Structure 1
Amino acid sequence: MKVSDKMSFDGSFTHSMRNELASILKTGRVSKINQPYPNELILTIRAKSKNQQLLLSANPTYARVQLTKIPYVNPSVPSNFTMIMRKHLSGAILTNIEQLDNDRVLRFLFTSRNELGDQTELCLVVEIMARHSNIILVDQKTNKIIDAIKHVGSDVNRYRILLPGATYINPPKQDVQNPFKKASFDDINKLIIDFPNVQVLAANVRKNIQGLGKDTSLALASYLHDDNKTETNFKKFFDQFDHPTPTLSNIANNKINFTAFPYPGTIKNKVYSTLSELLDSYYAERAQHDRVREQGAVLIQVVKKQLKKNRTKLKRLNRDLAETENADEFKIKGEILTTYLHKITRGMNSIELPNYYDNNSSLAIKLSNQLSPSENAQRYFKKYQKLKNAVKYLAEQIELTKQEIDYFENIQSQIELAKPEDLVDIRFELEQGHYLKDHEQRNKKKKAKRRKINKPEAFTSSDGTEILVGKNNLQNERLTMHTADKRETWLHTKNIPGSHVIIRSFAPSEQTLTEAATLAAYFSKARDSSKVPVDYTKVKHIRKPNGAKPGFVIYDSQQTLFITPTEEAVEKLKN
């Protein structure tokens, strides 16, 4: 799905989210603190006898605050920021959540105990401001910054220094009105009169009312234009932020957007029970792709470098192979020189002789004036033999280079489809192949220990049959060559990089076979294509050639299905 670039996490949506979080988390105790990604913090808060994962994101593109049920993989070594958060907030009680006017700034107020046992009051500020987003821990009594997830010095911002020890200053206040505290509506009435066009009215309302994104201001303008009851319609609009109906909607250009309630001019796609569930659904794929790109930057660079190197090598090899097509010319010239040696004398640079291979037509042959007639003839025979020997070598090298290109295109496809936790296996594979240096500096004991490969992703077909999908080469190899029973069914896209898929049944139904083929097509380089060819055969027909790279197999006795994969079909099969 395509998501909107005009997302609605504005001040008004922040107002709704504050209410939701306060109702669930207030008086809760912080039990865990993790930083799974550089700009994101997860606080596990025990509230009302349940553990809640509070996601605080200062991601430049996806900054937000929400509860989340999406599992995260934490780094083996916590960051300095995480350690400071744990030192000050572990065991802390959340006393309140405040919003700065109707701005995209939330303040999480905590009471805690310091190392001496004295009670402390702390404020965790989350500023949702695109690339300026930040998470800042502040001592409430002194208003001094304890730490920030992004340090901002005076060389970047003279007005606000966000460094440990600096005094915390709120973001600059704008000359706009908080819609939830608005009492007079004369200015709005004037705007309606001055700007009867909804689009123009929306732009001008946005300049006067705080916390309105483009889509929210347009929705408000539609409400205001409904009739002459300006105050009633204004309050009716903003009252819905206090009683939200979390909605995923279809908007223009086949894009999806999230809102606290259905906006005019959009087509309702799906309604969720909470704003947090709405955001989990909306951000799941896009935020994950961004995290993979961020965490897998080194892997992506290695793969791109290898692809560029091998594609350049393949061009050169093909060029050299084309040159060998002229090998017979050198043989003919050598034989003609041998026949007419008596006509050649040392010191000649060239000679024209009858070509008895072509009706005795004249053939010009270059000579070296430093060689004897016989040596000139032998020179052409040597060139011929060298090129003939090169044909076999070049053909082998071309095949090996094509295999390398296929391999790295496959890895590239796997990274595009990977979850953050899948990158660990891909990194390990590249290290094993000596394409990437092992930065972990394992000692001998750790090296001797066999590394555990992540489990393949599990799905369930309509009739309850388990389907397993490998997400990278190491998972593919483990799944096909070690986990699967020889009588089970194996699927893979035909001549297209993709996942190995196993149906855990000896006699799968036609429906299960089609659903498994859908997974094979979706988890391949052709996921956005139609009529993708997917081969299937029994596992007993799968073989791995000696010396082949991880995940590479050959097979026979296959049949082929043609599948057009969709995200909706895959979602239905998820466990």
Structure 2
Amino acid sequence: MKITALHTARLVSEFRQSLPGARIRKLRKSERDKTIVMHLEDAHDRYSLIFHFGGKDSYLYLLDGFYTRITTTNFLPQLLDARIINICQIDFDRVVQFDIEDDERSFKLIFELFGISSNLFLTDGSGTIITSIRKAKLDLKSYRAPEPLKLANPLEFDVENIMGMIGSNSELSLREAILKTFAGIDEGMLRDFEEEGSNVLDEAVSKIRPETIRNILCNLRKYCADFIKPETELSHDPESESILLSSDGDLQQYSSISDIFRQYAAGQTLRKPKSTIKSSLAGQLKRAIKKDTKKQAKLEEQLGKAEEYPDLQRRAELLAMNLHKAGRGMDSIELEDVYSDRGGVIRVELEKSLTPGQNVERLFARAKKLKEKIPGIREEIQFTKDRLERLEKLRSELDRLASDELPQELERELAEFGIRPPGRGRKAEPRERLPYKRYTSSSGEEIWVGRSAANNDILTFKYARKYDLWLHSQQTSGSHVILRRPNKNHQFQKSSIVEAAEIAAFFSTAKKSDSVPVIYTEVKYVRKLRKGRPGEVLADRTKSILVTPRRPKN
């Protein structure tokens, strides 16, 4: 399988989630297997970074734990116990750079994933080459990245410029023009991106309305942005060898692109490590707990800064009392602290371009803003604590299991956090189908749609949370639709509610109407009718919106 620039971007996103701050405990090389193994460790986890550079393809991927299954020799001893500071992709190409530091020096470890021409460079902090696994050009003393790709970056592009580039290929189909214009996109991804039943990509560019092309380009950019998010599940099509966004189809699903690369590399030199469902779930739980622990620490840091608002307010009041001492162009002023029993002076930072009166208003406004943030931050901290508590409880339940047989309730709870068993080894037995279809709004919120009348009840009263938004076409039969809040205090954009309402109208008996009224309210205000038929509910505190039914785009 050929690794693309978009695959590399996803890989770097996953690395950034786990590896900054980790220390290099061992770095080994197997010349026979054309493989480099790097053991990494942080306060919570151990990892193995594997670089396979033999054969026509090259792979870079991450494993949980220390990998020791091949015979290796010591490699790059100067990096032992050094710490990874940052990981980046160079020029949206198949090049990954690790910034590494020890107590005295800094290094760059650069992986070039160019198949048979793959290489690894170690340079000092200034870019001077120390060594490489394949000989570089004789006159190359400092590392120089390959020439930037002439193709466009599908994550960052100006729509109007790309419209001009595609317009210059008017004789081609839009599919061919997109493949010719963008880096990292292949035929399989375009088929996955294309709306079901639509053939617009196969039409000649000259025959498609510019507005249609513009919308397709914006949706393609969103598809690629979702693709590189480390929390997004992926699927792999073995026929086209394409990596796609996870779907409801029969394709194998993966939680990381490393899992896919590992499978391909295992078919060449590395034996696929034995992995059980239980150990895979334990690894996913560890990563989720680590992520939320970091989030909680960041929120508590934000709370600490917000709780300093009284000090900012005091400085504003002191400045207001001493406006005659300040003037425009001053960057700070020292004032007597009349609020302190001990007296003394206090330094007030000023904005040079503002008058003293405007600086007072600015300081009061900042203090007010910090004060208003406190309840929301505290609520978010509590939400994160509750989530961590649930994750730790799930980890305990998982540890107590004697086999890979998961209780249905445990599997459902894990799925709420995006933690799912991998489909490795033997074909897994068919699992019970979820009672809803999943879509995503333009703002990234999940939209769940009930599959049937009976499934509507299960979706609304078992899967939806009380603070999620419930939608239904008004006075017509249809699916229950849930617009999921990422957290309790999340505020939906109007566009997200409109998109969910359009989906609710589409999955109703009024789907062919030009406009359909849709009601919505929070799930906690929806209750089951006594002796009602499946799907029949009563909703209070509803609002109504008029929309045109629209087929979901994803």
Normalized per residue, the structure richer in helix is 1
TM-score (norm 1): 0.41
TM-score of the superposed pair, with normalisation by structure 2: 0.42
